[in-house]
Amino acid sequence: MLVDDADANIEKIKKALARILPEACAELMACDVKDNTVVRMSGEDLVVDLLGRVGDVDYQMSRSDLMHVTINGVDIPVAGVDTMLKLKEGRRDIDKRAYLFLKGKKEFLETKK
């Protein structure tokens, strides 16, 4: 997940995940997300990847294009279509396919307005 890599936010993430990923949270340092491309936290049945940036996109840039989904009464901010398009501008085949799908989705959503 793309996260705000500010020290205070990393501490909030650690606190939120401490019960389900206690060992990974104990090892996570505030600078890890800033210093590494991906920080993988894993436990028995869960893997969480923390990213401070993907290419040119960081959390602050993505904030202007958030969508909100509610699951079990919990509001969850997720990247909007424009941000996802930026994130999928890669060279891998899977990114190219995702980019084309998202471009089609964006065109479909714009025709529904």
> E strand or H helix at 18, and its extent?
none
DSSP conformation letters of 39-67: EEEE-SS-EEEEBSEETTEEHHHHGGGEE
pLDDT at 44: 86
What does the pLDDT profile of the chain (113 residues) look like in tens digits?
Answer: 899 999 999 999 999 999 999 999 999 998 999 999 999 999 888 999 999 998 889 999 999 999 999 999 999 888 999 999 999 988 899 999 999 999 999 999 899 87
- Burial degree of 83 (CB within 10 A; 0-12, 13-18, 19+): buried
What pLDDT score does 29 carry? 93
pLDDT of residue 8: 96
Q: CA 8, CA 10: separation in Å to the nearest integer?
A: 6
pTM: 0.77
Q: What is the pLDDT of residue 17?
A: 94
Domain ranges in the chain are 1-54, 64-113
Of 41, 28, 33, give the one whose Cα is nearest residue 5: 33
Cα 77 to Cα 49: distance, rounded to the nearest angstrom: 16
